[in-house]
Structure 1
Amino acid sequence: MLELTDTQIGTWVASFILPLFRVAAVLMTMPVFGTTLVSARIRLYFAVAITVVIVPALPPLPEVHALDLSALLLVAEQVIIGALLGMSLQLLFQVFVVAGQIVAIQMGMGFASMVDPANGVNVAVISQFLTMLVTLLFLAMNGHLVVFEVLTESFTTLPIGGGLLVNHFWDLAGRLGWVFGAALLLVLPVITALLVVNIAFGVMTRAAPQLNIFSIGFPLTLVMGMGIFWVGLADVLPHYQALASEALQWLRELARAR
């Protein structure tokens, strides 16, 4: 008769439950899968399926007693690590959201906002368009597969029970400045062109004060801004490739930081 001890049962359960918490935390916070477009039940099914696949290839896990405080601390550790990995990838998408907001304000479309179904907040229409474009590019270039690869490697580089590093939080906070800098660099040609248009309208108003700048300038700025933005879309793909490569490389460095 096969006899199982509490330690054996706890170890077997921990070998599946602890990786499940890290995988689920990544899926709950990463772009595309972590949005409201994918229901929590579907994300949980994905987390269970991924965990079942990667558990046999994971390094040996520490012995865990399910009812001890140490087990809860390990669960919290896995949730924090998974959330950090997922949120670090969110910064790539926020670059384009901020860029769209900057362009919308410059061309006079800052008031034209709509509810973002992915995040449940109001964003500018330009930001929503760039978000959908980046989502399609991210999936088309297999960015989600790279994330799953890094997630699997993190169990070796950041083993369960290995502890957390404060550097992880500081690295994530330091990347916030990178978001605004990358967004400004992305839309700098559009901003420069719109600045020239506004200066031209200022000169026209100075030369002919009888022109109503409010009835002429705003519509022309909007139309020319849309045209300049449409022309600038030709450079979105090279910028996305550079930003995505940098974000995914930083994700690997974050997972390997020891």
Structure 2
Amino acid sequence: MLELSSAELSRWVASYLWVLFRIASVLMTMPVFGTQLVPTRIRLYFALALTLLVAPQIPEVPTLDALSLSTWVIIAEQILIGAAMGFSLQLLFQVHVLAGQIVAMQMGLGFASMNDPSMGISVAVVAQVFTMLVTLLFLAMNGHLVVVEVLVESFTTLPIGETLAVTDFEALVYRFSWVMASAILIGLPAITALLIVNLSFGVMMRAAPQLNIFSIGFPLTLVFGLFILWVLLSNVLGQYQELAANALVWLRALVRAG
């Protein structure tokens, strides 16, 4: 009859449970898989499957009492590491959402909003178009596979039980300003073109005050905005590749993977 001591049972549970906490935290916060479009049960099943594959291949985990304070500290560290990895990937998507919001406000579509099923909030239609486009590019370029690779590698570069320092997350904290700057750079061509259109309408109104510029300015601005948006989408792939490369480099730096 198979008999397991309390120490062996505690170590066996810890070797899988701590890995599960990190993997589940990433899947619950990362784009695409961490949205409301994917049921929580599916994410949990996927996390369990990855845990069963990854746990036997990682370095040896420390043996601790299951009810000790150190165990709860390690669990909190795994959740924090996984959430930070998922949040760093969310920045890549929020850059394009913010760019869509800026372009929508400039072209007069800021009031046209729709429910975002992935986040459960209302966003501008242009921002939703950017979100769907980035999601398709992320999946088409195997971004989800790269994330899984970095996640598995993180158990070697950032092993379970190692004490974390504040500097482990400073690379992520310093990226907040990058989100706004990148969003403005994406929407800068459209912002500049629409600014020129609005200035032209201002000159027309100054030269001929009797013209009702509001009745003709809004539809023309909307038409020009849609045309500019169509031209802007032709360069989305190049911008996405650069931003995605930076985001994945930061993700690897966050887990000390180089």
Q: Which category describes the TM-score, using the shorter chain as reference length? A: over 0.9
Pairing 1:114-153 to 2, within 5 Å after superposition:
114-153=114-153
In structure 2, the residue matched to 1:98 is 98
Structure 1 spans left out of the alignment, 5+ residues: none
In structure 1, the residue matched to 2:199 is 199
CA distance in 1, matches of 2:112, 2:165: 42
Q: CA deviation at 1:82?
A: 0.3
CA distance in 2, matches of 1:167, 1:72: 22
| Aligned CA distance change for structure 1 residues 246 and 170 (closer, same or farther; 3 Å) | same
AA paired with 1:157? T
AA paired with 1:161? G
CA distance in 2, matches of 1:93, 1:2: 50
In structure 1, the residue matched to 2:57 is 57
Pairing 1:63-78 to 2, within 5 Å after superposition:
63-78=63-78
CA distance in 1, matches of 2:170, 2:54: 29
Per mean C-alpha deviation after superposition, the further-off stretch among 166-175 and 66-75 is 166-175
- For residues 99-146 of structure 1, give each alpha carbon's deviation from its aligned partner in whole angstroms, at most 9, with x where no partner exists: 000000000110111111101111100000100000000000000000
CA distance in 1, matches of 2:33, 2:184: 27
| Aligned CA distance change for structure 1 residues 254 and 169 (closer, same or farther; 3 Å) | closer
Aligned length: 258
AA paired with 1:179? V
- For residues 28-70 of structure 1, give each alpha carbon's deviation from its aligned partner in whole angstroms, at most 9, with x where no partner exists: 0000000000111110000000111111211111112212121
CA contact 2:171–2:253 (8 Å) conserved in 1: no
In structure 2, the residue matched to 1:17 is 17
In structure 2, the residue matched to 1:172 is 172
CA distance in 1, matches of 2:212, 2:176: 41
CA distance in 1, matches of 2:114, 2:167: 37
| Aligned CA distance change for structure 1 residues 43 and 37 (closer, same or farther; 3 Å) | same
AA paired with 2:189? P
CA distance in 1, matches of 2:241, 2:232: 16
SS of 1:38's equivalent in the other structure is coil
* TM-score relative to the length of structure 2: 0.97
CA distance in 1, matches of 2:232, 2:4: 65
CA distance in 1, matches of 2:95, 2:139: 17
CA distance in 2, matches of 1:36, 1:126: 20
CA distance in 1, matches of 2:164, 2:105: 41
RMSD: 1.2
In structure 1, the residue matched to 2:208 is 208
CA contact 2:18–2:75 (8 Å) conserved in 1: yes
* TM-score relative to the length of structure 1: 0.97
Structure 2 spans left out of the alignment, 5+ residues: none
SS of 2:60's equivalent in the other structure is coil
CA distance in 2, matches of 1:249, 1:170: 14
CA contact 2:153–2:257 (8 Å) conserved in 1: no
Q: CA deviation at 1:257?
A: 7.0
State whether structure 2 residue 253 is matched by structure 1 residue 244. Answer: no
- For residues 200-247 of structure 1, give each alpha carbon's deviation from its aligned partner in whole angstroms, at most 9, with x where no partner exists: 111111111111111111110011101111111100000001100111
In structure 2, the residue matched to 1:4 is 4
AA paired with 2:174? G
State whether structure 2 residue 220 is matched by structure 1 residue 217. Answer: no
In structure 2, the residue matched to 1:108 is 108
